[in-house]
Chains A and B, each alone.
Chain A
């Protein structure tokens, strides 16, 4: 399929979104709304996940076998679909964390080079 620039941006976001979702589920199952809320709160309201992206991402992760979904009842006694990490999902989370910290380090090196190296170059 022809890839438009929007698609590419979405893809970039998707990669991180998947990782963020896996991370929020690290401490136990949550429903979709709870996941969105958790990301927003934990990012100090900097990241706001649109439901239009969140739910397709959740289903994609289920399809890949990283998440399992189950209908349940919330603390406020409301019916909701709860997502939780599978064993495969936990392994994936570890991989993503590794890759993420490498990426951060690499980008950090490029963006804030140590003072001495800049002079050499």
Chain B
């Protein structure tokens, strides 16, 4: 039934008045007087109209109106308790904000769909060799051919390998780009689309195909400013020009971030015999798309069988010790798996913060409702039902939690971008992390759940229970149950804070160990510069002459103390191709035993002097060396020639069989790990090997001041030469340690938040406990206790909470560490010192938090306290 319109109500009232006036006139009253009397008799027209309208309101309207009144009341009373309101809102905001941020990253990495078409059928194949610590050995072309030949469940394979090119033609200076060299079916297998032009296809395969390139979306927007006219343009890609044929849609760059994709013909290396025929020459990643009807399990079984057959057929390429194996997963799982432990760790940290936040908020609200018990009792006595009282409490906690959630969601954006950048080190998908709508939902749900739970924390005045809050008692009383609850919450906070703080401490200690570890290099004065030889630019001798000349000219610059060249900038460059097998004088391999392997480093003379590595015996290489020579690291010398007679003995590489005379022994330096481990390294003169690509410049003053002069010198020698990433070794190490630093930062932030909340929590509990015991303190002061005794007692109470909390936290932390090490493999914990420091910080903070309430307790005015009841 529809409610009547206002017009109709007015008409009804007018009709009533007309009838009443007429009736009075009929009874003989004067018309004017009758009119006045009738209007007077009717009373307030508007009020009547409103009462009629109220009759027609739906039932929920009244409830909503009452609740709105409760909310207004809650607002007003919370405004009067600003400190509490602020604490609760900020605490909840931190709890919700941290959770929302982590959730959006988790969602992006683990839950969001890939842009690739039909990602469930997109398979990533990986060759592992856990025996030599390689979880991704990649494939050689002969291996790929074998796998392709024997697979029915995977219809098409896409292969991918990276090559660095010097790119000319993107405007500005020549620059080094990484290109994904792919076969024609790669993009079809990946299920990606172009945003412009076309992608590569079967017609681009083969030696005779024209050189073509596809730009990635980020490279197109950054280097070409998103110019659509780039299609058809010719760019210089290493030795030869190539035509840009398309731009790829934005997608997750996997397995490596590249600036562009190119067909195989652009890379002379890919056309060479080594690439085509050598089974050990592994540098290619393999993807596949399941044939219609085939399942991942079938593909896995089939490929594993084919791989086993291949290993049986070519045992010389699969050392038994290496435990070569095959992993077949969907690309989605492959992307998500390395990030999972890290994200779970972050999620756990956020959950701990949320627990702390909730228990703190519960504490504050419990204390507040304790103070309100008298008020609640009055309202109950005036006829308010339990439901109405509960609704009042609910309104208040709703206001608090909604405000907290709103602030928390505002915090979520900056937190999510920090967490996303952090997780990107482990899973590139995290870079796409954005706070999305579902996070909003999660935040609101969390806030509502918190609000409802908190509304049920306080006790209500009850007529059945004697000793409950009464009208007669105007001041606070604390029952043992309440006290226990308050303490329990405070202890929980301390325990959780301890876990976070100790964890952050462990991470900081680990980071510190990494940052201060002795590397064996001179870190400050050495500038490392990438001078990448164009993919095929100068062959052999020309390249060597270029580097000799560059070294000579840079060495002549003012402020330069020495120049050397090499292949590897410590920690920054990884080149698995430089790990090779060798033999040496007097070496008799046992049957079936593999040749030993070493790190192989072609370097120029003065390399050791420039990098500050001491020569322990013998001499450095010289420009005049014509004999085949080598220098070895101390560990290798001791291992291979235990009698200390390494000098002048001979060794040779399996792939370079000339015998080399050992002319020197140098200290171990580890260019793979920031924390040094013994290294088996063989150095050889770069001119004898024909490889170079990195320059090391030792500066007398500020190394970075040399960058312009070095760049000019090299450009004068070769105008198209790319020069990249000039950086001191110290900064290289800092960059390499960036994830550890971010890791420590995030956990310290969580720990700091937790500490802050926990301090507020302890202070709140003690303050409440003190104000509830004003009378007790007054009595004790009256019978002769000194203020100092009272103070000590309150401080002791605070310390007791902390002590119990830390003990519980230590147990919890130990349990978590055990759990983590079973789930994620062994953890490297840097001793218990950080845990002690965390405990110290917590105790200090708790003492600080106890001082104010303790001082207040000792200042209780005896007379006032005794009169107060």
Contacts and interface: CB of A to CB of B under 8 A. Distances in A.
A1 B12 contact: no
Nearest to A53: B51
Contacts of B42: 51
Given A59-B56, A63-B1, A81-B12, A33 B23 contact: yes
Contacts of A55: 12-13, 16, 48, 51-52
B384 interface: yes
B578 interface: no
B83 interface: no
A3 interface: yes
A50 interface: yes
B384 A56 contact: no
Contacts of B383: 2-4
A50 B51 contact: no
A101 interface: no
Contacts of B18: 78
Contacts of B54: 56
A52 interface: yes
Contact of A52 (B51, B63, B65): B51
B629 to A, nearest CB: 99
Given A52-B51, A55-B51, A31 B19 contact: yes
B48 A51 contact: yes
B624 interface: no
B16 A1 contact: no
Interface string A48-80: 001110011001101101000000001010111
B308 interface: no
A33 B21 CA distance: 11
Nearest to A37: B23
A29 interface: no
Contacts of A78: 15, 18-19, 22
Contacts of A33: 16, 19-20, 23
Contact of A2 (B12, B52, B384): B384
Contact of B19 (A59, A63, A74): A74
B622 interface: no
Nearest to B4: A59
A8 to B, nearest CB: 10
A31 B20 CA distance: 11
B55 A59 contact: yes
B43 A2 contact: no
A56 B388 contact: no
A63 B23 contact: no
Count class of interface residues, chain B: 20 to 34
Nearest to A62: B1
Given A1-B66, A76-B22, A59 B52 contact: yes
B22 A32 contact: no
Contacts of B16: 31-33, 51, 55, 80
Nearest to A33: B19
Count class of interface residues, chain A: 20 to 34
A117 to B, nearest CB: 35
Contacts of A4: 383
A110 B625 CA distance: 130
A56 B12 contact: no
Contacts of A3: 383
B823 interface: no
Nearest to B62: A1
A18 to B, nearest CB: 12
A32 B20 CA distance: 10
B827 interface: no
Contacts of A60: 55
A65 B1 CA distance: 9
Contacts of A79: 15
Contacts of B11: 81
B24 to A, nearest CB: 11
Interface in B235-266: none
Nearest to B19: A33
A31 B56 CA distance: 20
Interface in B25-80: 41-44, 47-48, 51-52, 54-56, 62-63, 65-66
Given A33-B20, A78-B22, A56 B52 contact: yes
Nearest to B8: A81
B16, B54, B56, B62 pick with most chain A CB within 10 angstroms:
B16
Interface string A73-96: 010101111000000000000000
Interface string A28-51: 000111100100000000000011
B43 A51 contact: yes
Interface string B693-734: 000000000000000000000000000000000000000000
A52 B15 CA distance: 15
A1 to B, nearest CB: 5
A28 B19 CA distance: 18
Given A33-B23, A37-B23, A52 B43 contact: yes
B51 A32 contact: no
A52 B47 contact: yes
A50 B20 CA distance: 13
Interface string B518-535: 000000000000000000
Contacts of B48: 51-52, 55-56
Contacts of B65: 1
Contacts of B23: 33, 37
Given A33-B16, A55-B52, A59-B52, A2 B66 contact: yes
Contacts of B1: 62-63, 65
A4 B388 CA distance: 13
Nearest to B385: A2
A3, A55, A63 pick with most chain B CB within 10 angstroms:
A55
A74 B23 CA distance: 12
A55 B388 CA distance: 30
9 contacts: A3-B383, A31-B16, A34-B19, A55-B12, A55-B48, A55-B52, A56-B55, A80-B16, A80-B19
Given A32-B16, A80-B16, 20 more contacts: A2-B384, A32-B12, A33-B16, A33-B19, A51-B16, A51-B42, A51-B48, A52-B51, A55-B13, A55-B16, A55-B48, A55-B52, A56-B51, A56-B52, A56-B54, A59-B56, A62-B1, A63-B56, A78-B22, A81-B15
Interface of B: 1, 4, 11-13, 15-16, 18-20, 22-23, 41-44, 47-48, 51-52, 54-56, 62-63, 65-66, 383-384, 388
